[in-house]
A = this chain, B = another copy of it.
Amino acid sequence: MSLIVQKFGGSSVANADRIRNVAGIVADTYSAGNQVVVVVSAQGDTTDELIAKANEINPKASKREMDMLLSTGEQISIALLAMALEAMGYSVKSLTGWQAGFSTDSNHGGARIRNINTDRLENELSKNNIVIVAGFQGLNRYDDITTLGRGGSDTSAVALAAALHADKCQIFTDVDGVYTADPRLVKNAVKLDEISYDEMLELASLGAQVLHNRSVEMAKKYGVDLEVLSSLERKPGTKVKEVVDVEKLLIRGVTKDDKSARVSVLGIPDVPGTAFRLFTLLGKYKVNVDVILQSLGQDHTQEISFTVPMDQLQTTIQVLNDAKETLGFTEVAYNDQISKVSIVGAGMATNPGVASKMFGALYEANINIHMISTSEIKISVLIDRKDSDKAVIAIHNAFYE
């Protein structure tokens, strides 16, 4: 008998038919002789509807009260899914985040899970109940309801799988696995049978939008066997685990990120410590800096370029301009019409041909590269946003045809 944690997102439980479909998957898993713990998100647009209600009354509502409001979304889902399983004759209990033992810190709206007291859960499982748990939520030390922020249900599921020492954690979504590129963009994109945590982390942070990074980080930390699969089709998905056969495929995927902007700080005095002070400052304002390039400018000055998420661009410019005198640079420039296109694969570090193949594909497609960044398992390039789709297709073709 295995213990399996299954997580279903908002679109998988969006209406009565979808809920019955999910109940069918859960029931089959249970009937095959497994213990099943199910984590669900709020139905379809529920969270957005609740946010709209709040905004109508108070656009600056406290995060505590937003959590009180938003946590009802998952509570509705768990009750409805439990009812669907009851209708099929199964013994089932739904549990809110706090009933399932989720303790978090007090960072309302983006709380971190501190620990999970699994007593209640294990008690329900021992009575052969299917257990449905509200994702995305917990309780802080003051007994106030908290939410984990966007993507929190994935994290809830992985954390539960870790705490219960589950045999696996299945994340059901509206795609049937992780692909070598966005299948909507690249027609011959290939579904991966398996991928390593590290590769998945790079793909997730690069915009692959299948699994949230927090959940993958947690899965890696606790060695939880993850699987990403479709809630609409009954077929194997993509397994995410520690070690995968790196020989099989040289690169795991090609992704693009259209939501970054490039910032360039010009005329920085060529003295030690300037870059350190600059990024410390941005860190203080929680700006996520990526793809950093430092180069010698004119007249013994330096130039530092980096990317930031589009929605942090305004803050970044503001913070830098306010510190212009302290840091001693002459100008801040930015380009918000760039994209980051990346290839990810554990095999590429030991294979020098990968980078040249990527650059060659871009050259042949007549796409200009602004900046390059590499890591052990990733190569990213900054290009004009208008070229990003073309770039993904060109690179994917170079590696897969």
Q: Which chain A residues have a beta carbon within 8 Å of chain B's beta carbons?
A: 16, 19-20, 50, 53-54, 56-58, 60-62, 64-66, 68-69, 71-72, 75-76, 78-80, 82-84, 86-87, 93-94, 96, 99, 120, 143-145
Q: How far is the CA of A145 from the CA of B144 in the complex (A)?
A: 16
> Which of B56, B58, B72, B83 touches A54 (beta carbons < 8 Å)?
B83
Q: How far is the CA of A75 from the CA of B50 in the complex (A)?
A: 12
Contact across chains for B69 and A54 when beta carbons are under 8 A apart: no
For this chain, the copies found in one complex come to 2
Contact across chains for A75 and B86 when beta carbons are under 8 A apart: no
A134 to chain B, nearest CB (A): 9
Contact across chains for B61 and A86 when beta carbons are under 8 A apart: yes
> What chain B residues lie within 8 Å of A16 (beta carbons)?
53, 56-57
A318 to chain B, nearest CB (A): 27
> What chain B residues lie within 8 Å of A50 (beta carbons)?
76
A81 to chain B, nearest CB (A): 8
> What chain B residues lie within 8 Å of A93 (beta carbons)?
64
Q: How far is the CA of A62 from the CA of B2 in the complex (A)?
A: 28
Output the nearest chain B residue to A23 by Cβ-Cβ distance. Answer: B57
Q: How far is the CA of A68 from the CA of B20 in the complex (A)?
A: 18
A74 to chain B, nearest CB (A): 9
A61 to chain B, nearest CB (A): 4
Output the nearest chain B residue to A59 by Cβ-Cβ distance. Answer: B87
A15 to chain B, nearest CB (A): 9
Q: How far is the CA of A82 from the CA of B120 in the complex (A)?
A: 31
Output the nearest chain B residue to A66 by Cβ-Cβ distance. Answer: B79
Q: How far is the CA of A56 from the CA of B58 in the complex (A)?
A: 33
> What chain B residues lie within 8 Å of A64 (beta carbons)?
93
> What chain B residues lie within 8 Å of A143 (beta carbons)?
99, 120
**Which of A65, A79, A93 has the largest number of chain B CB atoms within 10 A?**
A79
Q: How far is the CA of A20 from the CA of B58 in the complex (A)?
A: 10
Contact across chains for B82 and A65 when beta carbons are under 8 A apart: yes
- 12 A-B pairs whose Cβ atoms sit less than 8 Å apart in the complex: A50-B76, A57-B84, A58-B87, A60-B87, A61-B86, A62-B83, A62-B86, A64-B93, A68-B96, A69-B80, A72-B72, A72-B79
> What chain B residues lie within 8 Å of A71 (beta carbons)?
75
Q: How far is the CA of A72 from the CA of B288 in the complex (A)?
A: 36
Contact across chains for B65 and A79 when beta carbons are under 8 A apart: yes
A143 to chain B, nearest CB (A): 6
